[in-house]
Structure 1
Amino acid sequence: MIEVLTPLRTIEIERARMPEARAILPDGDTCVVIDDYGRFFTVSLSTGDVVRVRSRSAGSLGSVAPDGRLMATSARAFGQYHVQIWDLARWTVTMELPGHAHPIQAVSAAGRIVVTAAADGTRVWDLDDGSCRFTLPGTEEVLWVAVSPDQRHVATMSWDRSVVLWDPCTGAPIRTLRAADPRVPPLRSPANDNGIWIRTVLMDSVRGRLLVADGQLCAGDLNGQRPLTSWGAIPWSPWAAWVPEKDILHTCLAALNPVDGIVAVDYGGRAYLLDQGGQPLAVMGPEPGPGQVPVRTMTFAPNGRLVCSRAGTFAPVEVWPAVSELMG
């Protein structure tokens, strides 16, 4: 396993409070960053140039469409919660999907499908006409969603760790990949101070698998032949398991490189890169220890480089090398 202690580049975003690197555009160089004030920035990963684009009340960010033209973000206005669809060429809102009376906990998008999760249900939207196809039944406690890149599956995960696969064309459940765990206490939100910071659901259509990071990393097949089971072999560290005075589990944040199937997982503020079998290839960042700041967001650039932001008020965006660069 290759160890990398410092990133290739750190990019400071002036006056951006709690910046989060959320997505890389298809040009491979432009990173979309959102801060706590709902402001958008675009960052050049090669030059470090930063441009403030718009000021909007942005929350959860959905996937950038495969053609790189559209992006979905959640927002609030006049007591209602809705999703804005952005045209990335002009940085304008081209469509708004209204309807939620509660905060939107998660957004995921692929192609012409957007899925939103809130306390009044998980909804599947059609961008062709801006309509809600349906509300998935019994999904009032869903906090994490994912749409597969081929638009054939929707996955939901609730606070009780249950994971269900849905048909986005009919709204019917296909199968339950993991049943509810009665030992898990209720969580108020994905950023609950008394529980898990964040959980991740990843869909890999090319390899027919689904990955879940919620304290441990689990993987299963989209066809249901292999249930969700513990996956990966990250070396255990006493500093990474718990945060002092807070019952916060790590291994909850993950990202997938769809090109080669490599998965990145945060563990104690270090990003482990795992191969398709879950074995570590490389680790990015210093050894865990007192004061180590966990990774807040992570995403892969098309060239395989990992882009991270940490949970600091004015933390920089970090660019880490790709496995192909490390392997020579």
Structure 2
Amino acid sequence: RLNCNVPVYGTRLTLALVESRLKEHGLRLQSYAHVVKAGDSIRLGNLGVEFIHVSHSIADCVALAIDTPAGMIIHTADFKFDQTPVDGRVMDIRRFADLGARGVLVMLSDSTNADRPGYTMSERVVGDLFRDEFRDAPSRIFVTTFASHIERIQQVFDAAAESGRRVAIVGRSMENNVRLGLDLGYLHVEPGTLVDLDTLDSMPSNRAVIITTGSQGEPMSALTRMAMADHRKISIMPGDTVIISASTIPGNERMIGSTINRLFKQGAEVIYDAFSGFHVSGHASQEELKLMLNVVRPEYFVPVHGEYRHLVKHARIAQDLGMPRSNILIPELGDVMEFSR
């Protein structure tokens, strides 16, 4: 049990993921956890907090609209404007516009893709590529992605069902998150599509899909151990296709490169680079960042989430839209900002 008395608010999936990780260490949130959903509002002393649905690469992501005595603060969370999301729930741009019309004192906005021109592609693009590859691949297909990316995992299941393939899950975090997704209703799998690894081994290789951990080349992940011929249950065979459906987190380039090289040595065909189309970002690109700024029209702007160069690029975008440089702040970690009208 956690030795604290601090309430923790989150959507169902978020809290379930937190509980799952805490359980590994003998801890539980128990009564501290409070489930919220997009559209809900809570009171915390003299603050009001509203949760607003945004599109991102994890289900049930929400922005925060914090009503304070000094004025409204919006934290966009991670977001992009996906017009064709896999779950059918489009970002609640109308609510952001309503708040902008009322007047927003400060907006803190996701800057991760502030250096990317244009718009971020829809998650559905990846699903189309999965269907093509699953239909044409001559043997087994291994897909690795972030274990929290429920919508990407859903698209693997969908493509497998359409192509007559069966799916097995390998890797503890992936197994745990797929189970949570199914239990909570975030994942929907056709009967007979999800099987255990032993069942998959008895099937023709061109009817097999394995979803696995290891998209970042983590040393103890399932895919890395397969690449090193060190996994106790499954080995890479010549003719297998490995799809790395994730972006590279800065700092992991060497580990991922080593894993890819080892997979090629095992005889696999590896689809891995950012231009393959098998991964799209969950973060807004420049035109979407402009749209968010124009819709909300905050008095002050604080770019967040990204390396310093991304924060600077986002600040320049705000300036290009007419915001005074004096109203844009790029804080360092630990800085305290105070705003008033």
TM-score (norm 2): 0.26
Structure whose CA Rg is larger = 2
Q: Which has the higher contact order (CA 8 A, sep 6+)?
A: 2
Structure with more of its chain in strand, by fraction: 1
Structure with more of its chain in helix, by fraction: 2
